[in-house]
Amino acid sequence: MITSEQKDTGNPLSIIPKYTVNTFLDWTVTSALSANVNWTLYGKQKPRTHAESRSEETKGLSGKALGAYSLVGANVNYDINKNLRLNVGISNIFDKQIYRSAEGANTYNEPGRAYYAGVTASF
């Protein structure tokens, strides 16, 4: 569990959840094929409620806490031969995006769903 705040204002540090839990499940289908699923749970996040400086207005500070949420991803690896591996995957499968109501950036650092692929060559 993390309890953190800015000493001057008492504001919680930006986008720091109370806890983060990471889980990973790996399945070896064959000697050349494997798949995995990952799940990350982020705990409650407290909002800023005080201005960081005298010039900043507090009207955009929502005072609403962000509840716990989770993200899921999946990946498949295939060994083409002993020197070449192919992988494809999806992060944030359910396209979870967290919005905030304060002024400024309207989202947290969670990108939407993303697809990726890669090739690893070893010598």
Answer for the pair 92, 57: CB distance below 8 angstroms, yes or no: no
Question: Percent of the chain scored above 90 by pLDDT?
Answer: 49
On the question of pLDDT at 4 being above 70, the answer is no
Q: List the domain boundaries for the chain.
A: 20-121
pLDDT for the residue 112: 87
pLDDT in tens, 56-78: 555 555 567 778 899 999 999 99
- Global pTM value: 0.71
Which structure tokens are listed for 56?
């900043």
